[in-house]
Amino acid sequence: MATWFTEKQTENFGITAKVNRTLHKETTDFQELEMVETEEWGNMLLLDDMVMTTEKDEFVYHEMMAHVPLFTHPSPKKVLIVGGGDGGVIREVLKHNSVEQATLAEIDGKVIEYSKKYLPSIAGTLDDVRVDVQVSDGFMHIAKSEREYDVIMVDSTEPVGPAVTLFTKGFYEGIAKALKEDGILVAQTDNPWFKADLIRQVYGDVKETFPITRVYTANIPTYPSGLWTFTMGSKIYDPLKVSDERFTAFDTKYYTKELHKACFALPKFVKDMTKEE
């Protein structure tokens, strides 16, 4: 019997992928964690039955979360990633030579443990000397930080379970406080086809907290609708005004300096979600 994993991305629609075998499955203190080997996407991490990342398409999310804010900032030195226990964002952050320290605040140590074991191409740089891995609640970590970070990235799960507090206005206000006076926030904010209300709400909350607020997109085939949004809040630097000289060359599979600006050109129905009512 062939085994297929099906994620119902809505009540009435989903994706389905052939699974060769289950590598690990356990109920952690926070969520259901499952690592499966798929035929199409390589190893795949599931949390609460939702696809978090896969070996084949992970580069899109990780590159776009990391490089857009890091090239927007002229010289990012201290970076905080909230969530992101698979290590993919860290791997991309470390490509920036200016970065002296990248702190990971992941609430679930099991995500880190099994990503290292079964997603080595993603988690392989978590032991780098510039990385400070903290198994801790990102919300609490933010609450105790002040004027500390150049860039904070919220690489969270959906706003259910442990991630609920990461989609609140109070959290964005905490991030603004934890950032330096020219700091940048970027958060993953789900997809515009099924989660329009969430995008509108986060955009409004970030806009009330940061002088510059912009939404950008990337294509992630294993995420709902294939179109993912990221919301950026910036105190000073505008991602659309980065000069060509800022970009340094390194190997990417999705991000390019042309896309850095083009990804902010939103489809009309998404653009409408960022307008005042």
Binding positions for a second copy, rule: CB under 8 A: 6, 10-18, 38-41, 57, 60, 193, 217, 219-221, 225-227, 252-256, 258-259, 261-269, 271
Nearer to a second copy (CB atom), residue 135 or residue 227:
227
Nearer to a second copy (CB atom), residue 1 or residue 129:
1
Identify any residues that bridge with 229 across adjacent strands, giving them in sequence order: 217
Task: Report the half-sphere exposure of 87 (CA within 13 A, side-chain side).
Answer: 25
100 known ligand binder: no
Minimal CA–CA distance to 99: which of 80, 85, 116? 80
Q: Computed over its alpha carbons, how large is the radius of gyration of the chain?
A: 18
Least Å distance, CB 193 to a second copy, is: 5
Least Å distance, CB 16 to a second copy, is: 5
Nearer to a second copy (CB atom), residue 100 or residue 250:
250
Least Å distance, CB 28 to a second copy, is: 27
101 known ligand binder: no
Identify any residues that bridge with 7 across adjacent strands, giving them in sequence order: 15
Distance in angstroms between the alpha carbons of the first and the last residue of the chain: 52
Instruction: Name the residue with tokens 């099991």.
Output: 110
Least Å distance, CB 269 to a second copy, is: 5
62 known ligand binder: yes
d(CA 37, CA 18): 9
Identify any residues that bridge with 22 across adjacent strands, giving them in sequence order: 36
> Would you call 155 a catalytic residue per the annotation?
yes
What does DSSP say about strands 101-106 and 131-135: parallel, antiparallel, or unpaired? parallel
Task: Report the half-sphere exposure of 252 (CA within 13 A, side-chain side).
Answer: 26
Amino acid at 46: L
Least Å distance, CB 170 to a second copy, is: 32
Active-site residue identified among 108, 150, 155, 205: 155
Nearer to a second copy (CB atom), residue 135 or residue 259:
259
42 known ligand binder: no
d(CA 158, CA 160): 6
Nearer to a second copy (CB atom), residue 95 or residue 177:
95
Identify any residues that bridge with 188 across adjacent strands, giving them in sequence order: 230
158 known ligand binder: yes
224 known ligand binder: no
Beta carbons within 10 angstroms of residue 77's beta carbon: 15
Provide the annotated active-site residues. 155
Q: Which amino acids are annotated as binding site for spermidine, given as ranges?
A: 62, 86, 155-158
Provide the annotated binding site for S-methyl-5'-thioadenosine: 31, 106, 137-138, 162
Give the annotated binding-site residues: 31, 62, 86, 106, 137-138, 155-158, 162
